[in-house]
Amino acid sequence: MSTTTGASARVASPHRTYSRWASLAVLCAGTLMTILDGNIVTVAMPAIQSDLGFSGPGLAWVVNAYLIPFGGLLLLAGRLGDLVGRKRMFAAGLAVFTAASVLCGVATGQGVLVAARAVQGVGGAMASAVVLGMLVALFPEPREQARAIAVFSAVGAAGGALGTFLGGALTQVLGWHWIFLINLPIGVAALIAAVRVVAPEDGAGLGRGADYPGAALVTGALMLTVYVIVGAGDRGPTATLLSAVLAAALFVAFALRQARAARPLLRLRLFRSRLVTGANAVQILMIGTMYGFQFIGALYLQRVLGYSELATGTAFLPAPVAIGVLMLGLSARTIGRFGAYRVLIAGLVLITAGMALLSRAPADGSYLPDVLPPLLLLAAGFAAAMPALTGLAMSGAREEDAGAASGLFNTTQVVGGSLGLAALSTLAASRTEGLLRRGAGLLPATADGYRLAFMVATGFALAALVLAAGVLRRRT
């Protein structure tokens, strides 16, 4: 595909002109659908448990069944997108995700819902893995690329926060089935638009090869890693340790395979780039922090301050509004003026400050003095940091590795979120249980557990800041 100069269009044939900005809107719509689905389920979990009779541990698999294939298949989907064409992979992922959403919405039993969630995870990985590679190819000019990444990041970040609100609203008004069925009109519209608006592209061809033994190793390793992270609290330490050791062994086998394979799935030269490696490491810590804010913060509002599901979702609404305004109005312009590195550092400082404030939230707190100020600091920090970090990560990859780099970046996002959620929720529960055993009241013990989680999340954010400052500064 060739880019027209001075115009926002891409020409795929002499007979048809494709708008780059319309293509960006389609990519954002598809991404919004998958991100919403990752968060919208959380608020509806009690209703799902009551309706389908899930046990406590069994209910977790409504989330885990989605996360495991999603996190495990991103790298493979990114590489296959390079081979068969990223548009084909994106459209196929939308179709699979939408069909699976309908199955989730009509599910009347536990097994059907969990299986359909797993298929959703496959479709989500197919669609998400290639989006950043497509975006970078659509907007090669640095200033336009920064603007496009800001729009894309705003949609993703706002979608994550909006999912909490929509989950509460749809569940309360229409029932939990509609948190999945809402994907049908969105998915169909996005799929039709993708076919008509996004310019076709030829991949390298399956004959160029993916390293399928390597794909099996890394997919197994990633799936097992996510399984260890999200299910650590349900198993004993021995089983968790053995699973972690097996995951590490699979990663080592994958690295050895990639070093020797004629056509590797993930070229190890990607990790020679300080920007690619450093940005992905920073993202794990930063996303772990933000998941702590989103999930533990929602629990604080409900279990300590006594908010309903809908009230909790409404309390989070200032975050997507602030993120959208700042990303769309300021991020690209600010990155163009000060550079991605400086904007990233400023964003991480705000995130660290916001989490530090949240770690002081008392048992008798209230929304305006104790929740809203850190909420806005975190939103502003994420609005600055995420587009800058995305641009740095993708700028370190060659064009032919864009799909793999996109898949890697999305993978570390899923792993970072899962790790943060598992670690922080486990710490909060352990602290609360310990205080209850010593005779503390339920409300102060619960609040103290959440404060501990927020303090550890502050440590994650501070570590991300130190790592970014030391690794991601461009050398001149």
pLDDT computed for residue 381 by the predictor: 94
The position carrying tokens 């109005």 is 329
User: What local confidence, expressed as pLDDT, does residue 3 receive?
Assistant: 36
Q: Are 180 and 36 in contact (CB under 8 A)?
A: no
**Whether the Cβ atoms of residue 271 and residue 397 lie closer than 8 Å to each other:** no
Question: Helices in 85-141 by DSSP H: which ranges?
Answer: 86-106, 110-129, 131-138
- Helix or strand or coil: residue 339? coil
What is the 8-class DSSP label of residue 296?
Answer: I
Structural tokens at position 70: 């999603």
Q: What are phi and psi of 363, to 5 degrees?
A: -70, -30
Find all residues with CB under 8 Å of 169, minimum gap 6, and list them: 310, 313
* Distance in angstroms (rounded) separating the CA atoms of residues 163 and 124: 16
Mean pLDDT of all residues in the chain?
82
Q: What per-residue confidence (pLDDT) applies to 350?
A: 97
Residue 84 pLDDT:
83
The contacts of residue 380 (CB under 8 Å, 6+ apart) are 322, 326, 347, 350
Tokens matching residue 280: 């992905």
Kindly state the tokens that stand for 119: 């298929």
Contacts 24+ apart (CB under 8 A), 360-368: 360/451, 361/300, 361/304, 361/447, 361/450, 361/451, 361/454, 362/447, 363/304, 363/443, 363/444, 363/446, 363/447, 363/448, 365/304, 365/305, 365/447, 366/305, 367/301, 367/305, 367/315
**pLDDT, position 11:** 40
CA–CA distance, 271 with 151 (Å, rounded to integer) = 27
- For residue 381, the SS3 value is helix
Q: How confident is the model at residue 246, as a pLDDT? A: 93
Task: Map tokens 């163009």 to a residue.
Answer: 336
pTM of the full structure: 0.75
Which of 346, 332, 338 minimizes the C-alpha distance to 387?
332
pLDDT digits (tens, 9 = 90+) for 330-382: 777 788 888 889 999 999 999 999 999 999 888 888 899 999 999 999 999 99
Report the percentage of the chain scoring pLDDT > 70: 87
| H or E stretch at 17 | strand 16-19
Q: Which residues of the chain have pLDDT under 50?
A: 1-15, 17, 476
Note whether 378 and 290 are within 8 A (CB). yes
- Report which residue type is found at 331: S
Residue with tokens 């690794």: 471
- Supply angle C-alpha 117, 84, 37, rounded to 5: 20
67: exposed, middle or buried (C-beta count within 10 Å: 0-12, 13-18, 19+)? buried
In this structure, the number of other CB atoms found within 10 A of the CB of residue 130 comes to 31
Q: Helix crossing, 20-52 with 142-173: angle to 10°?
A: 30
Residues whose CB falls within 8 Å of the CB of residue 386, separated by 6 or more in sequence, listed in order: 153, 156, 157, 286, 327, 347
**Cβ within 8 Å of residue 467, ≥6 positions away:** 278, 281, 282, 285
